[in-house]
Structure 1
Amino acid sequence: MRALFSDILDQAKNVRVVGTAVNAADAREQIAELKPNVITLDVEMPGMSGIEFLEEIMETAPLPVVMLSSLTQAGTETSLKAFELGAVECFPKPLKATPEQFSKSVGKLGKIVLAAANSNVRDRKVRAEQKSSDVAFEWNGHVAAISASMGGIDALTTMLAQFPANCPPTIVCLQAEPMLVDTFIKRLDDMLKCHVRPAKEGATLIQGAIYIAADPEHHVVVEPGHPPKLRLMARDPVDGARPSANLLFGSIARGAIPAVGAVLTGMGSDGARGLKLLRDAGCETFVQDRKTALVSEAPEAVIALDAASKEVPLDALGAAVLGRCSMS
């Protein structure tokens, strides 16, 4: 596995592998000597586990860490734990490295490592245990639309914890591994007082529900109506993203649906153009403050287009969105 990932990263543009380690003790010495920008860390290691070593790294000398984990039920639970501890991303270990899969992995993992190298891991605050909000909320008919990618699972956990049981209908466009998102949805649904479910074709947007779109085979858009509905579209990726936040936000703007939009931490620029369409349509739009975003590429793209009404720190984003969806 070390040889496979070293080969993948050596082929990635602007990435250089400076060392490999057989276990945590070996890694500890090499990190001190080589001072890498990013660490890729396997969950499964002899002796101290990857999760235990990740916790040590984040407590002693935080560094950007990309976890390598299996796409199983246990693997996705472990990945969520890694995000809680401060991992920048969790990348699935390939079960079968066909030439086509290998080629895809080269580009994807290379981009992840480069984004991790420029992430705000050292400034990240450990997330406290979140409890669902008991705030009094009276809905004004606006829907909430949110996008996130790298660092999004941690950011969404913090933001959505502020949502009450009768929260506005909320659609989240999330770029992450589908199996990991399935586990994330179940965890959020248990944690929050509102309902959290995957985005499905024809789903009616109702109060008290959060719909998470992460199917890499389909885009999600909102169809106007009373109430609006979700539609899934099997189209090519848009600017490299599927589902595309630009398409989601754009469909809401074109349908003149009362809404508030927000772009959170993430790689690339997906969501920026769509958020600008929302703002131009008269909707309130927010972007996560770059200092609190684990990966600031997406927020920076939003700010460059002047697509957000306001830049908001992560711990205040939930309240900001709820405020624009409230009668008060």
Structure 2
Amino acid sequence: MEDLRIIVVSPSAVECSRIKRALAGRSARLVAMSGDPHEAFTLIEGTEPDLVLFSQVVFDRPEFDGMLDLVRAINADWISLHGPGACCPRDATSQARWDKAAPPYAVQCLEDLLDRIDKGVRKRPVSARPFAKPALAPSLSDKIVLIGASTGGIDALLTVLAEFPPNCPPTAIVQHTARGFSQSLVRLLDRRCAAKVVIAEDGLRLEHGMVCVAAGVPGHLRLQRGEGLSCSLREGPEVGGQLPAIDELFRSAVPFANRCIAVLLTGMGSDGAAGLLDLRRAGSATIGQDEATSVVYGMPRIAQELGAVCQQLPLSRIGGTILQLARTGQCAISGSET
């Protein structure tokens, strides 16, 4: 049985020393330690550990939710380095991980977990992502996919993009996340997806088989037509409290809305809802993630209430539906679909 791979996110040498002592002689391996949230995000993305330990200091940082989103996406567990609380790790696939009120106490929790592992009881199996679907027909070259996501979005994007073939329609994504997380997020998505995933850049030409991502960047991603489809990424003020804003991406595509399939995934707030409505009114096919599969049913709920959503779907069906819409070009006439 393989050792449990652990990353510690703490600036405290004392805490790190305690964890090292707890791991001595156990079926676990300390992969890395960092007290910086941005460095920790990169380490978690690059090593995909089984368990992440967070200190109180990091727990209170604004980047914490973004790191938890990543932990959830790689199907890892996490433990808080402060307590007291229940002595069991938070399962990153559980909604309970978003409750900061009663985090488990780290060392006792870790020792209990290691006891079970030493006895041959592994808490969670490693799950494999499905491989991408077969290539699409060349007739889909005129379709464009737009996706907006926030809280819980990394896992949602992995699920959706896992369905995409290597020659998927040109795809532009805005994901709300902290500054400095962009490169690690794109590497993770690119590693897990058959299509090529790249960081959005000003002037980048968006082509078949390419997914561009704007996340934690100081500018709004917009699409523009010229000799093909290209990205515009310019610095500017926040829109609706967001930079980049999903609404800005969606509204930039209104002039060619009849070519677009726009998707609003899990997230807090209302960003993207108004832009999705503009796209639907202009002829786009639009999809909203349903409440049952959303980590936070905020943005897609507002979009649904505005009448911006052609189809409201569980996460597991969104990727396949995007490809089906790309083939047919049809939008559901009205209502939710479950």
Q: TM-score range by the shorter chain?
A: 0.5 to 0.7
Which stretch of structure 1 is more off in the superposition, 290-299 or 248-257?
Answer: 248-257
CA contact (8 A) 2:148 2:246 kept: yes
Q: Whose relative contact order is higher, 1 or 2, with alpha carbons under 8 Å and at least 6 apart? A: 1
* Distance (whole Å) between structure 1 residues aligned to residue 311 and residue 56 of structure 2: 32
In the TM superposition, residue 80 of structure 1 has moved relative to its aligned partner by 7.8
Map of 1:230 onto structure 2:
231
Encode CA deviations 1:267-306: one digit per residue, 9 max, x unaligned: 1110000000110011100011111011111111111211
CA contact (8 A) 2:273 2:308 kept: yes
* Distance (whole Å) between structure 1 residues aligned to residue 198 and residue 158 of structure 2: 14
Map of 2:128 onto structure 1:
129
Q: What letter matches 2:128 in structure 1?
A: E
CA contact (8 A) 1:85 1:126 kept: no
In the TM superposition, residue 254 of structure 1 has moved relative to its aligned partner by 3.1
In the TM superposition, residue 135 of structure 1 has moved relative to its aligned partner by 2.5
In the TM superposition, residue 178 of structure 1 has moved relative to its aligned partner by 3.7
CA contact (8 A) 1:217 1:234 kept: yes
Q: What letter matches 2:95 in structure 1?
A: V
In the TM superposition, residue 140 of structure 1 has moved relative to its aligned partner by 4.5
CA contact (8 A) 2:180 2:216 kept: no
Encode CA deviations 1:178-209: one digit per residue, 9 max, x unaligned: 43231121122222221000001011110000
Map of 2:42 onto structure 1:
76
In the TM superposition, residue 129 of structure 1 has moved relative to its aligned partner by 1.9
CA contact (8 A) 1:76 1:179 kept: no
- Are the structure 2 counterparts of residues 72 and 239 from structure 1 closer, same or farther at C-alpha, using a change threshold of 3 Å? closer
Size of the aligned set, in residue pairs, is 254
Map of 1:29 onto structure 2:
none
Q: Secondary structure at the match of 2:317?
A: helix
Q: What letter matches 1:172 in structure 2?
A: I
Q: Secondary structure at the match of 1:211?
A: strand
Q: Secondary structure at the match of 2:37?
A: coil
1:208-227 matched pairs, under 5 angstroms: 208-227=209-228
Encode CA deviations 1:72-103: one digit per residue, 9 max, x unaligned: 4454232688899799x999949xxxxxxx9x
Greater gyration radius = 2
Q: Secondary structure at the match of 2:287?
A: strand
Map of 2:336 onto structure 1:
none
The TM-score with structure 2 as length reference comes to 0.65
CA contact (8 A) 1:69 1:79 kept: no
CA contact (8 A) 1:84 1:154 kept: no
- Are the structure 2 counterparts of residues 79 and 256 from structure 1 closer, same or farther at C-alpha, using a change threshold of 3 Å? closer
Q: What letter matches 1:43 in structure 2?
A: V
CA contact (8 A) 1:287 1:312 kept: yes
Map of 2:314 onto structure 1:
313
Q: Secondary structure at the match of 1:183?
A: helix
- Are the structure 2 counterparts of residues 308 and 256 from structure 1 closer, same or farther at C-alpha, using a change threshold of 3 Å? closer
* Distance (whole Å) between structure 2 residues aligned to residue 186 and residue 222 of structure 1: 22
Map of 1:254 onto structure 2:
255
Q: List gaps (5 residues or longer) in structure 1.
A: 1-41, 53-67, 95-101, 114-118
- Are the structure 2 counterparts of residues 241 and 287 from structure 1 closer, same or farther at C-alpha, using a change threshold of 3 Å? same
CA contact (8 A) 2:45 2:185 kept: no
Q: Secondary structure at the match of 1:326?
A: helix
CA contact (8 A) 1:289 1:312 kept: yes
Which stretch of structure 1 is more off in the superposition, 285-294 or 182-191?
Answer: 182-191
Map of 2:3 onto structure 1:
none
1:29-48 matched pairs, under 5 angstroms: 43-44=9-10, 45-46=15-16, 47-48=18-19
CA contact (8 A) 2:146 2:262 kept: yes
In the TM superposition, residue 233 of structure 1 has moved relative to its aligned partner by 2.1
Q: List gaps (5 residues or longer) in structure 2.
A: 1-7, 24-33, 69-92, 99-123, 330-338
In the TM superposition, residue 174 of structure 1 has moved relative to its aligned partner by 0.7
Q: What letter matches 1:252 in structure 2?
A: A
Q: Percent identity?
A: 28
* Distance (whole Å) between structure 1 residues aligned to residue 55 and residue 274 of structure 2: 27
* Distance (whole Å) between structure 2 residues aligned to residue 242 and residue 210 of structure 1: 19
The TM-score with structure 1 as length reference comes to 0.67
* Distance (whole Å) between structure 2 residues aligned to residue 123 and residue 93 of structure 1: 15
In the TM superposition, residue 43 of structure 1 has moved relative to its aligned partner by 2.8
- Are the structure 2 counterparts of residues 293 and 260 from structure 1 closer, same or farther at C-alpha, using a change threshold of 3 Å? same
Q: Secondary structure at the match of 1:171?
A: strand
Compare the two structures and name the one with the higher strand fraction: 2
1:1-328 matched pairs, under 5 angstroms: 43-44=9-10, 45-46=15-16, 47-48=18-19, 70-78=36-44, 93=58, 121-122=95-96, 128-138=127-137, 139-256=140-257, 258-326=259-327
In the TM superposition, residue 126 of structure 1 has moved relative to its aligned partner by 9.4
